[in-house]
Amino acid sequence: MGNVVIEKSSGNVDLEKSAFFFFGPPKIGKSTTASGWKNCIFLCTSTKEVKRLKVPYILVNTHEKLIEAIEYLIEHRKQLPHKTIVLDFVDAMWTNCITHVCKKLKIDHPSEAGYGKGVDMIDLAFKKVMTRLIGSEFGCVFISHLQVKEIQTMSGTVTKTISTLPDRARKIIIPLVSVIGCIDFTTIKIKNDEGKTIRKKKRVISFEPSEFLEAGDRDGYLPPEIPCFSDPKKTYALIEDYYSGRKTK
């Protein structure tokens, strides 16, 4: 009992230590947006994810490599300049975890383990590494893709925009993250040089959840929607302004 220390939190959230989850359609700029985070390092399942970015990265194309990379970063955190770990993309990391467990059990499919053993081992292996990361001093940015799916609600069936993260992986990741942002296009009306009203598409990040959109902001600093600039540092600077109080919702 002598090692128990009761502490009191400040109520303020450090952006660099928060956990974000971004999802959106292919080629919308999810990885580019995440690259705007200060002192970030990418854990990528393919070098294609970072091909056009100038960022430090570690290739984690197996579950074993993911574990090794996270343990290395946590162990050497004080010696490294990196503050935020970008997981690009988390769907593939879930698949790699399934492959890892099946290989360990010498089976081709989790159902072959019987009595839910394979499924339970996969969930535990994935949850263990993700909890380890979230519990560290690093900030996190998880990246996934977008899908439109019919969801059953109390009022009936609705079409909802959600991430492509499989349900079991979703139950592990979503409760751990603080902010869920959907990056997508929206249509706005503007005046052209001739004074005519025209429609134009712009990228935005939506944080406000609804029965039609998977999103959320547990940190409580961000407005329902912000522009997603082509310059990722500009997008990060805007988010930073909200967290610092320079901007308010």
Q: Which residues are within 8 A (CB) of 55 and not within 5 positions of it... i.e. 6 or more apart?
A: 35, 40, 41, 42, 86
pLDDT of residue 115: 66
Query: What does the pLDDT look like over 101-128, one tens digit per residue?
Result: 999 988 888 877 776 778 899 999 999 9
Residue type, 174: I
- Name the CATH topology of 15-244: Rossmann fold (3.40.50)
pTM: 0.91
pLDDT of residue 231: 97
Share of the chain above pLDDT 70, in %: 98
Lowest mean pLDDT among 6-15, 41-50, 121-130, 158-167: 6-15
pLDDT in tens, 132-149: 999 999 999 999 999 999
Give which of 82, 97, 101 is closest to 37, Cα–Cα: 82
Give the number of residues written for the chain: 249
Q: How far is CA 223 from the centre of its chain?
A: 18
Q: Which residues are CB-contacts of 224 (< 8 A; sequence separation ≥ 6)?
A: 206, 207, 208
Domain ranges of the chain: 15-244
User: Is residue 163 predicted with pLDDT exceeding 90?
Assistant: yes
Residue-wise pLDDT for 205-223, tens only, equals: 999 999 899 999 999 999 9
The DSSP element (H or E) to which 32 belongs, if any, is helix 30-34
